[in-house]
Chains A and B, each alone.
Chain A
């Protein structure tokens, strides 16, 4: 290596430093701290029993943890799947020409641009027992008391939470798929059509494999977000047992400060669960890619 090359190499490394310091110190540091605390390292509360697996033990030993985990995964999975189906269908419609398309392309992206809290506000006014849907049903003469309206929010079925996630994430997935669709052009689809393939076959055999990378990466992001989201299950959820991020927050906010370590164990559990699922997902996808002859 010449001196000049070495200089460029060092220069390159220097350029990486700002990002590395944010990600390693803050992101990595936060994760390491969380792990250490969940294992009993918290000298500032006068606790240092590192390594101590009792926090994980008591967390994983309680039945409600598993209910919370189930709820977290259930809301995250159902809403990701619904958003995927709705978003792909929307993207397939959007590549066609129709009057008013320019306006529609503004409109469908609106949820992307505004915070989840707005989506929650919309869910509250539409779906609560005293809300707009309930009033419309009452106007139609089907109920005469708000208590008769089937409860949508604040139940463990989580329809309110799912509605907010789907509302916000359908455009996200649409955009990812749409960008890919625009990029690939339609020659292969047309070729398949000329060769006599039916619509369904064209979609599953020709279009889907092409948009798959876009689908995988966008659903990955949505799912991870849904697992870690706090505000929607906090406001619209069914109460105890809560989803894991809300459980962690409640531990963290408890009058009993030592419960913060239990909260950290919850936080680490969220990370582990999300990690395992996402890696399994990626692994399956990679295998599929290899089978298809891509790498």
Chain B
């Protein structure tokens, strides 16, 4: 890419340089005051830096302040993290299991009603989440699923399936079926083909799909909030309950940073192991 012809500049224009800096500031800049707030004891307007820091007060209070609270079991941060990861993993596993065969069908076969089916698959992405969430709650309360892990996991499948199917279908399409056929001609049994040939070739795409599904699941707020009934807390709902009044106090700032942490880890993993193009399939056309 970078080695292209120079008629169309491959270098940034001055405007683009400034633009990149502004965007970077817009995206990560606001984290700085959150870090400061998380270390403050009292930080009132118009101070640019806290008048009193947490460490100055740490010994004087019997109560765990700031990070002492955030990192203690009292804040429920650990419980929420475990829940978020657990729900994300189960959703990813189920989603993968039910989407793989469907993606294979969509990529390779044509059947009656295929385009209708494909359209139906994208519907969850364009029906507003609030509509699904409130309507599902009514059903779940009656089925006894409200406030349970099972209910939340099932609900998370709805917005994750469309992404997963899209990404996996693209992978199968790119794969072609020649490899499997060659293996079959060479006398391999179907299971062997799946295990030795198809899966390894699919793996990068499957990992991308799984990561993306996990990412979507860990980011879901509304469905968890409506269907969890306060009994199952995840990182997004924990943070919501801290800031729902529109105020970010010391412990809320600490929790904001903790909620950001898994995202940073995911970012590093996905950036290192997955090509941009594969990831883009989840978002783009």
Chain A contact residues, CB within 8 Å of chain B = 9, 12, 15-16, 18-19, 22-23, 26-27, 29-31, 33-34, 37, 44, 86, 89-90, 92-93, 95-98, 104-118, 120-126, 128, 130-132, 134-136, 138-139, 146, 153-154, 167, 170-173, 175-180, 182-183, 186, 189-190, 193-194, 202, 213-214, 216-218, 220-221, 224-225, 227-231, 234-236, 244-245, 248-249, 252, 260, 263-264, 267-268, 270-271, 274-275, 278
Contact A34/B134 with A15-B102, A110-B27, A235-B244 known, Cβ cut-off 8 Å? yes
Query: Across the interface, do B139 and A110 meet the contact criterion of CB distance under 8 Å?
Result: no
Q: How far is the CA of A246 from the CA of B269 in the complex (A)?
A: 36
Collect the chain B residues with CB atoms within 8 Å of residue A228's CB.
Answer: 127-131, 222
Within 8 Å by CB of B134, from A26, A229, A267, lies: A267
Within 8 Å by CB of B276, from A18, A128, A175, lies: A175
Contact A33/B135 with A93-B16, A115-B259, A175-B284 known, Cβ cut-off 8 Å? yes
Query: Across the interface, do B244 and A180 meet the contact criterion of CB distance under 8 Å?
Result: no
Q: What would 17 more interface pairs be, CB under 8 Å, given A19-B98, A131-B33, A230-B225?
A: A15-B104, A22-B157, A23-B124, A23-B161, A27-B123, A27-B124, A98-B12, A107-B27, A114-B263, A115-B259, A132-B30, A178-B276, A179-B276, A190-B4, A218-B284, A245-B130, A278-B126
Query: Across the interface, do A22 and B215 meet the contact criterion of CB distance under 8 Å?
Result: no
Of B44-52, B64-72, B199-207, the one touching chain A: B44-52
Collect the chain A residues with CB atoms within 8 Å of residue B130's CB.
Answer: 228-230, 244-245, 248-249, 267, 270
Most-contacted residue by chain B among A112, A139, A182 (CB, 10 A): A112
Q: How far is the CA of A16 from the CA of B279 in the complex (A)?
A: 25
Query: Across the interface, do A121 and B285 meet the contact criterion of CB distance under 8 Å?
Result: no
Query: Across the interface, do B102 and A175 meet the contact criterion of CB distance under 8 Å?
Result: no
Within 8 Å by CB of B131, from A19, A116, A122, A267, lies: A267
Collect the chain B residues with CB atoms within 8 Å of residue A248's CB.
Answer: 130-131, 134
Residue B247 is within 8 A (CB to CB) of chain A in the complex: yes
Q: How far is the CA of A54 from the CA of B184 in the complex (A)?
A: 64
Query: Across the interface, do A271 and B285 meet the contact criterion of CB distance under 8 Å?
Result: no
Query: Across the interface, do A268 and B243 meet the contact criterion of CB distance under 8 Å?
Result: no
Residue B88 is within 8 A (CB to CB) of chain A in the complex: no
Residue on B nearest A218 in the bound complex, by CB: B283
Q: How many Cβ-Cβ contacts under 8 Å join chain A to chain B?
A: 316
Q: How far is the CA of A284 from the CA of B184 in the complex (A)?
A: 46
Collect the chain A residues with CB atoms within 8 Å of residue B277's CB.
Answer: 179, 182-183
Q: How far is the CA of A91 from the CA of B281 in the complex (A)?
A: 15
Residue B61 is within 8 A (CB to CB) of chain A in the complex: no
Contact A26/B246 with A31-B127, A118-B256, A227-B128 known, Cβ cut-off 8 Å? no
Residue B87 is within 8 A (CB to CB) of chain A in the complex: no
Query: Across the interface, do B33 and A193 meet the contact criterion of CB distance under 8 Å?
Result: no
CB distance from B40 to the nearest CB of A (A): 11
Q: How far is the CA of A263 from the CA of B259 in the complex (A)?
A: 31
Residue on A nearest B224 in the bound complex, by CB: A115
Q: How far is the CA of A241 from the CA of B208 in the complex (A)?
A: 42
Query: Across the interface, do B259 and A117 meet the contact criterion of CB distance under 8 Å?
Result: yes
Contact A23/B128 with A105-B271, A176-B283 known, Cβ cut-off 8 Å? no
Query: Across the interface, do A125 and B34 meet the contact criterion of CB distance under 8 Å?
Result: yes
Collect the chain A residues with CB atoms within 8 Å of residue B54's CB.
Answer: none
Contact A96/B12 with A218-B283, A228-B131, A230-B222 known, Cβ cut-off 8 Å? yes
Within 8 Å by CB of B240, from A15, A117, A244, lies: A117
Residue on B nearest A144 in the bound complex, by CB: B46
A-B contact pairs, 8 of them (CB 8 A): A9-B111, A15-B101, A23-B124, A23-B161, A26-B136, A136-B48, A190-B4, A244-B130
Query: Across the interface, do A26 and B154 meet the contact criterion of CB distance under 8 Å?
Result: yes
Q: For chain B, what secondary structure do more than half of its interface residues adopt (helix, strand, loop), or is it mixed?
A: helix
Q: How far is the CA of A253 from the CA of B66 in the complex (A)?
A: 33
Within 8 Å by CB of B121, from A12, A23, A93, A229, lies: A23
Within 8 Å by CB of B1, from A95, A106, A271, A275, lies: A95
Residue B267 is within 8 A (CB to CB) of chain A in the complex: yes
Residue B253 is within 8 A (CB to CB) of chain A in the complex: yes
Interface set, chain B 159-200, CB cutoff 8 A to A:
161, 165
Q: How far is the CA of A268 from the CA of B130 in the complex (A)?
A: 10
CB distance from B26 to the nearest CB of A (A): 7
Query: Across the interface, do A19 and B8 meet the contact criterion of CB distance under 8 Å?
Result: no
Residue B82 is within 8 A (CB to CB) of chain A in the complex: no
* Binary contact track B93-126/A, C-beta < 8 Å → 1, others 0: 0000111011011000101000001001101111
Query: Across the interface, do B219 and A115 meet the contact criterion of CB distance under 8 Å?
Result: yes
CB distance from A9 to the nearest CB of B (A): 8
Query: Across the interface, do A107 and B24 meet the contact criterion of CB distance under 8 Å?
Result: yes
Residue B138 is within 8 A (CB to CB) of chain A in the complex: yes
Collect the chain A residues with CB atoms within 8 Å of residue B129's CB.
Answer: 225, 228-230
Most-contacted residue by chain B among A179, A180, A202, A271 (CB, 10 A): A179
Contact A124/B247 with A33-B138, A96-B10 known, Cβ cut-off 8 Å? yes
Residue B149 is within 8 A (CB to CB) of chain A in the complex: no
Contact A113/B161 with A107-B24, A139-B46, A175-B283 known, Cβ cut-off 8 Å? no
Collect the chain A residues with CB atoms within 8 Å of residue B246's CB.
Answer: 124, 128, 153-154, 235-236
Query: Across the interface, do A107 and B28 meet the contact criterion of CB distance under 8 Å?
Result: yes
Collect the chain A residues with CB atoms within 8 Å of residue B85's CB.
Answer: none
Query: Across the interface, do A121 and B243 meet the contact criterion of CB distance under 8 Å?
Result: yes
Residue on A nearest B272 in the bound complex, by CB: A106
